[in-house]
C-alpha cells in the first residue's frame, strides 16, 4: 500500500508539475490544486501506463479519494 502511494505521489508531482504535493489515502481532488477533470484523465493514463493495468470507466468515475484509487490498482495486481 505504502509503496503504491509513493509511486502515485511521484506520478502526481511529475504530471502536475508541483513538488509540494504530498498524498495520503484520504486525499481528494479538491485538496490538490490543478487536479481537475482534464488532469484526471492525464493522471489515469499515466497510472495505467506505469502499473501496466487498465481501469474500467466505472472504476475511474467511482473514486472519491486516493485510497480508493489504490484499492483499484491493488485489485489488478
Neighbours of 37 (CB within 10 A): 7
| Nearest distance, CB of residue 44 and another protein, angstroms | 7
| Nearest distance, CB of residue 53 and another protein, angstroms | 13
Nearest CB to another protein, comparing residues 25 and 48: 48
| Nearest distance, CB of residue 43 and another protein, angstroms | 11
Nearest CB to another protein, comparing residues 1 and 41: 41
Amino acid at each position: 500500500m505504502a509503496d503504491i502511494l509513493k509511486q502515485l505521489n511521484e506520478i502526481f508531482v511529475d504530471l502536475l508539475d508541483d513538488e509540494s504535493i504530498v498524498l495520503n489515502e484520504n486525499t481528494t481532488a479538491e485538496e490538490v490544486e490543478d487536479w481537475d477533470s482534464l488532469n484526471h484523465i492525464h493522471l489515469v493514463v499515466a497510472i495505467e501506463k506505469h502499473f501496466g493495468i487498465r481501469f474500467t470507466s466505472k472504476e475511474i468515475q467511482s473514486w472519491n479519494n486516493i485510497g480508493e484509487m489504490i484499492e483499484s490498482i491493488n485489485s489488478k495486481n
